[in-house]
Chain A
Amino acid sequence: MRVGLFVTCLVDLMRPSVGFAALELLKAAGCEVVVPQAQTCCGQPGYNSGDRAAARALALKLVGEFEDCDYVVVPSGSCAGMIRVHYPTLFRDEPAALERVRRLSARTYELTDFLVSVARLDAPPGEFHGVVTFHDSCSGLRELGVQRQPRALLARMPDLTLVEMREATTCCGFGGTFAVKYDDISTRMADKKCAHIDASGADAVVACDLGCLLQIEGRLRRRGDHATMVLHVAEVLAGEEGACG
């Protein structure tokens, strides 16, 4: 099974350890992993900012780079959702391109969804001692139905305890450029998330999207919480937390 790993632009720039953790996990699940070197961004910032042309150009670029893989796996629900759900709408009026895009979209998975539904990873290689709470990232949850998969994987880690926080499925307020354009609203949304994390008493908050993690960690630290770890699910599952290559 040849799997193309799309690490996403945010992981590439801000947190390479997530990419390596994903690599680890896919290998542990028995996949042959390739990382196309020309990959950049899925086009989501342009798409959500109303720049359809930019989004289409980047979509075609990505499709070309991953076409020869059996699957595309992405350690991000929102980028996976972009490819799986939104790419086809970008080309809905062009049958030829649409056909090609659809073929790739249908083979694209969010990482934990892939590990559970396709690769059937039984034993995550990592170790984690402590209590974690899980934040459901919006696109993964509502566009791809990622909810049970990351929890199922975390449940397979013997020393990890999962406690649910209140309103785990409420948006953390990141929203890409929203976080900067409407920073006051965005920060207030993060505040509520932080309060729920705090109340859960967990040692770490875990999510499937780096955007949410930057938002949550950024606000937790500013609020003076330097203790709660903020981790990508891949880092926990692979035992790569904090490692940077």
Chain B
Amino acid sequence: MRLEAVQFRRKAAEALDNERLQRALEKFPSRFVDTRAAALAELGNTEQLRDAAADIRARTLRDLDAWLRRFERAAAARGATVHWAEDADEANRIVTEIARAHGVRKAVKSKSMVTEECGLNEYLERQGLEVIETDLGEYILQLAHEPPSHIVAPVVHKSKEEIAELFEEKHRKPRKDDIAELCREAREELRPHFLGADMGISGANFLIAETGSVLIVTNEGNGRLVTTLPRVHVAVSGIEKVVPTLEDATTLLRLLPRSATGQAITNYVSLLTGTRGAGESEGPEHCHIVLVDAGRSRMLGTELEPMLRCIRCGACMNHCPVYQNIGGHAYGWVYPGPMGAVLTPALAGIEQALDLPNASTFCGACSEVCPVKIPLPDLMRHWRERQTEQRLRPRRERLLLRLWAWTALRPRLYAVVARAVARLLHGLGGSDGLVHRLPGASGWTRGRDLPAPPGLTFHALYRKRRGA
């Protein structure tokens, strides 16, 4: 997926003016916020579970190399081949080589954000392979040539009407307006692809170290077909997805669907272990697992390590008031919302995403709902601090900050300045007591008035009162 996070401001402004998108975004509170709350309330022990989940992830990350090697051994014992990719390019090359070795012409895919990160589809297409997305949302996006705007519901920015139009145009079939009919039409289109594909490419929600299994949760069943029908199954996963045991995975599974979509469990939970064994009726003949680093190991042992606990549930963006107003495309890469504001600079480079960690009010709604308790605002602040250290903030901002700090450390001077500013603002206020235009901070008054202060500071008044 193309990295366009530097265009955050422009894209955010466009998103605010895009009425279709705004209508689509309106469903967030009821569709994700309320459903999550209800699903977790049923559990009763959410806080203990979140602690346990965070602990499982943190513990695994402390010995990530060991758990990954353990996973590799267990997977190999069941007939899978594990590949290690240092970056996106290497991951793409590995998948291409696997395809070549098995004479693959067509691949079907289930949803995988790490392959979006790598740009795998485009790469394989350039190598002459046909790649078909089979997750309904991803399929729609592939038809529309659009990137996902959400990590769980990639097509959440589109309305039913837009999808109906798109299907009519691309499928050349009479327009359907009913959701069930649209789904049926997509299924009909996809079926021959499933049957004709030589390779299935999936992501992984978790890698189980003790068994060498790949765990995938889906709601459409396409993941099952992708991973079991074609001769070759390739699972692509970030290295951080490993967990030690099946029991650990079940703890995380109690939180993942509930946090993501408010479901107690997804329609399908697939535990894929190696190749089809003797006497087994399903499973691929060949199974390859590609473990992608692409910047993750750099985060280990740093302040950013907690970010690797992420289980990609999307709750942080669902609850983020900034995301709720601008949608996912404004963030300009695979990972939107608060988790993207931390991950994008980590994986793609700090200067590639200067706005992202700053475009937050630090309201804390994200970390409040994160099932693995990632302190997202603290990690965004981490990036703000690195930006300051590396002088990546605008000159004017740096200057103002320095001036402010210097003054605030000198109480007498500060009092003089505060009194002058209070008087000035008071003077700028009209007869209605409001400042309508604020020189030097026009950002404030573009959309808001400023209630004018009474003209004397608290401390000046306080001294007066005490003296009187």
Contact partner of A222 (CB less than 8 A), chosen from B358, B388, B447, is: B447
Asked if A129 is an interface residue, CB under 8 A from chain B, the answer is no
A48 touches B384 (CB 8 A): yes
Q: Does A170 contact B (CB under 8 A)?
A: yes
- For B361, give its contact among A39, A46, A178, A245 (CB under 8 Å): A178
Provide the bound-state CA to CA distance between A19 and B465, in Å.
13
Instruction: Say which residue of B13, B364, B422 sits within 8 Å of A139 (CB atoms).
Output: B364
Report the minimum CB–CB distance from A43 to chain B (whole Å).
8
B451 touches A221 (CB 8 A): yes
Q: Mark B374-403, 1 if CB is under 8 A from A, else 0.
A: 000010010111111100010001000110
How far is B444's CA from A214's CA once the two chains are assembled, in angstroms?
10
For residue B462, CB closer than 8 A to chain A, the reply is: yes
- Find chain B residues with CB under 8 A from A48 CB: 362, 381, 384
Q: Determine the distance from Cα of A41 to Cα of B457 in the docked complex, in whole angstroms.
A: 14
Residues of B within 8 A of A160 (CB): none
Distance from B166 Cβ to chain A, minimum over Cβ atoms (Å): 28
**A49-B401, A58-B409, A222-B448 in contact; A175/B418 too (CB < 8 A)?**
no
| Inter-chain contacts of A217 with B (CB < 8 A) | 449, 451
| A:189-210 near B, CB below 8 Å | 189-190, 192
Distance (whole angstroms) from the CB of A92 to the closest CB of chain B = 11
Residue of A nearest to B361 (CB): A175
B459 near A37 (CB under 8 angstroms)? yes
A180 and B441 contact, CB distance less than 8 A: yes
Would you call B322 and A184 a contact (CB within 8 A)? no
Distance in angstroms from B99 CB to nearest chain A CB is 43
Quick check: A13 and B421 within 8 Å, CB to CB? Answer: yes
List the A side residues contacting B444 at CB < 8 Å: 179-180, 183, 218
B361 near A214 with CB under 8 A, answer: no
A184 near B447 with CB under 8 A, answer yes
- Contact (Cβ within 8 A) B443 A13: no
* Residues on A with beta carbons closer than 8 Å to the beta carbon of B123: none
- Complex interface: chain A residues within 8 A of B77 (CB): none
Query: What residues of A have a CB within 8 angstroms of the CB of B454 in the complex?
Result: 15-17, 244-245
A45 at the interface (CB under 8 A from B): yes
Is B364 a contact partner of A142 (Cβ separation < 8 A)?
yes
Q: Mark B185-213, 1 if CB is under 8 A from A, else 0.
A: 00000000000000000000000000000
Query: What does the 1/0 interface line of A138-169 toward B look like (CB < 8 Å)?
Result: 11001100000000000000000000000100
- How long is the Cα–Cα vector from A61 to B448 in the complex, in angstroms? 34
Q: Which residues of A contact B432 (CB under 8 A)?
A: 221, 226
Residue pair B458, A16 in contact (C-beta under 8 Å): yes
Measured in the bound complex, the distance between the Cα atoms of B435 and A221 in whole Å is: 11
- Chain A CB within 10 Å, residue with most, of B9, B322, B384, B418: B322
CB distance from A102 to the nearest CB of B (A): 18
B405 within 8 A of A: yes
Cβ of B365 under 8 Å from chain A: yes
Contact in complex: A13, B448 (CB < 8 Å): no
Assess whether A175 is in contact with B362, with CB atoms less than 8 Å apart: yes
Distance in angstroms between the alpha carbons of A13 and B407 in the assembled complex: 14
Residues from chain A with a CB closer than 8 A to the CB of B368 are: 142
- The residues of B that contact A178 with a CB separation of less than 8 Å are 358-361
Interchain CB contact under 8 A, B411 and A183: no
Residues of chain B lying within 8 A (CB to CB) of residue A245: 454, 456, 458, 461, 464-465
Q: Is the CB of B447 within 8 A of A219?
A: yes
Chain A residues positioned under 8 Å from B456 (CB to CB)? 16, 244-245
CB distance from B206 to the nearest CB of A (A): 29
Q: Is A51 an interface residue (CB 8 A)?
A: yes
Do A50 and B393 contact each other (CB < 8 Å), given the known contacts A13-B453, A37-B459? Answer: yes
* Known pairs A41-B408, A167-B29; A174 contacts B361 (CB<8 A): yes
Residues of A within 8 A of B140 (CB): none
Taking a contact as CB atoms under 8 Å apart, the answer to whether B453 and A185 are in contact is no
Contacts of A221 in B (CB 8 A): 432, 434, 448-449, 451
How far, in whole Å, are A171 and B380 apart by their CA atoms in the complex?
Answer: 17
**Of residues 13 to 61 in B, which have CB atoms within 8 Å of A's CB atoms?**
13, 16, 29
B448–A19 CB distance below 8 A: no
Q: Is B84 an interface residue (CB 8 A)?
A: no
Q: Contacting B462 at CB < 8 Å: which of A35, A142, A190, A214?
A: A35
* Most chain A CB atoms below 10 A, which of B12, B361, B384, B385: B361
Which among B432, B459, B461 has the highest number of chain A CB atoms within 10 Å? B459
Looking at the complex, which of A4-12, A104-112, A118-126 is the stretch in contact with chain B? A4-12
- Asked if B325 and A185 sit within 8 Å, CB to CB, the answer is yes
- For chain A, residues 128 to 142, give those with C-beta under 8 angstroms from any C-beta of chain B: 138-139, 142
Task: Determine which of A13, A20, A52, A190 lies in contact with B422 in the assembled complex, contact meaning CB atoms within 8 Å.
Answer: A13
Cβ contact of A142, chosen from B321, B363, B381, cutoff 8 A: B363
State whether the Cβ of B173 lies closer than 8 Å to any Cβ in chain A.
no
Contact across chains for B408 and A179 when beta carbons are under 8 A apart: no
Q: Which of B367, B388, B389, B441 contacts A49 (CB 8 A)?
A: B388
A38 at the interface (CB under 8 A from B): yes
> Chain A residues with Cβ under 8 A from B405's Cβ?
46, 51, 54, 57-58
| A181 shortest CB reach to chain B, Å | 7
Q: A47 near B: Cβ within 8 Å?
A: yes
A185 touching B458 by the CB < 8 A rule? no
- Residues of chain B lying within 8 A (CB to CB) of residue A186: 361, 447
A40 at the interface (CB under 8 A from B): yes
Please determine whether A188 and B459 come into contact, CB atoms closer than 8 angstroms: no
Assess the B404–A45 pair: CB atoms within 8 A.
Answer: yes
24 pairs, A vs B, C-beta closer than 8 Å: A7-B458, A12-B457, A13-B457, A16-B453, A38-B411, A41-B408, A45-B404, A49-B388, A50-B384, A138-B363, A142-B367, A143-B364, A167-B29, A173-B321, A175-B360, A175-B361, A178-B360, A187-B447, A189-B325, A192-B325, A214-B451, A215-B448, A218-B451, A221-B451
In the A-B complex, the 7 residue pairs with the smallest Cβ-Cβ separation, listed nearest first, are: A175-B361, A187-B447, A50-B384, A218-B448, A54-B405, A171-B363, A244-B454
- Chain A interface (Cβ within 8 Å of chain B)? 7, 9, 11-17, 19-20, 35, 37-41, 43, 45-52, 54, 57-58, 61, 89, 138-139, 142-143, 167, 170-171, 173-176, 178-190, 192, 214-215, 217-219, 221-222, 226, 230, 244-245
Starting from the known contacts A19-B462, A245-B465, 12 additional A-B residue pairs (CB-CB under 8 Å) come to A19-B458, A40-B409, A40-B411, A49-B401, A138-B364, A184-B13, A184-B447, A185-B12, A187-B447, A218-B450, A222-B447, A245-B454
